[in-house]
Amino acid sequence: MEQNKEMTASESLALIAETMNNSRRVILRTNAKHFILWGVLLTVLSLVIYFLWHSTGSANWNLLWFAMPAIGYGTAALVNNKKDADPKNEISRLLGLSWSAFGFFSVVLSAIAIFAVPMNITLIIVLLLGLAECISGVILKSWPIAIAGMIMGIGGAVAAVLLKSEAQLLLFTLGGLLLAVTGLVIKLQYK
């Protein structure tokens, strides 16, 4: 696009549509990276805590969950530490806000459950995870993601009551896989 040529009305409209679609695709592909990153992290961490809990019999390994935000945001900062930041649009802003709200509620409620009022924190977090996933699906206008979020939230909440001790952690493994798959779906959708 070197020439500052004059264009016809239809050429101008086509250029506008093409340019806006291209930048939207690039921005959403960047979001896909974040879904994959957090999904892989959740899967790996849940399996690590599961095996540590299972082999030692101590539930204290759950404190490792508090390292997740530091690891996740640290890795995200490294991934984004390039000279040229990708821009944000309304969709990426809404996705960021939804998942930040999920992170905030999860960390605060986990702290309350551990240090003040005991509660079935797996049920609450898996429900929040499903809700955030469902909202992401609605924002992205992707019914498979929205429905997967509903199944995760509702099915996960029921399973969290039925499953005991470390077996509950496997729900987060599934949740992590779901996030990573969501990232792959976005990547393919906006190829």
Give the C-alpha distances (Å, rounded to integers) separating 40 from 33, 46, 86, 184: 11, 10, 22, 12
Q: Does 58 bind other proteins (CB under 8 A)?
A: no
What is the separation, in whole angstroms, between the first and last Cα of the chain? 22
Q: Which is nearer to other proteins, 74 or 144 (CB)?
A: 74
Angular region, 43: left φ>0, alpha ψ -120 to 50, beta rest: alpha
Backbone φ and ψ for 5, nearest 5 degrees, come out as -75, 155
Does residue 16 belong to the site contacting other proteins (CB under 8 A)? yes
| CA atoms in the 13 A half-sphere facing the CB of 143 | 0
Interface size with other proteins, residues (CB under 8 A): 29
Q: Is 77 in the site for other proteins (CB under 8 A)?
A: no
Contact 27, 86 (CB under 8 A): yes
Binding other proteins by CB under 8 A: which of 47, 75, 86, 189?
86
2 binds other proteins (CB under 8 A): yes
Among 86-94, 120-128, 159-167, 175-183, the segment contacting other proteins (CB under 8 A) = 86-94
- The nearer residue to other proteins, 56 or 80, going by C-beta atoms, is 80
Identity of the residue, 54 or 93, whose beta carbon is nearer to other proteins in the bound complex:
93
Residue range at the interface with other proteins (CB under 8 A); choices 24-32, 40-48, 157-165, 175-183: 24-32
* Burial label, 45 (beta-carbon count in 10 A; 0-12, 13-18, 19+): buried
Binding residues for other proteins, rule: CB under 8 A, are 1-7, 9-10, 12-13, 15-16, 19-20, 22-24, 26-27, 81, 83-89, 93
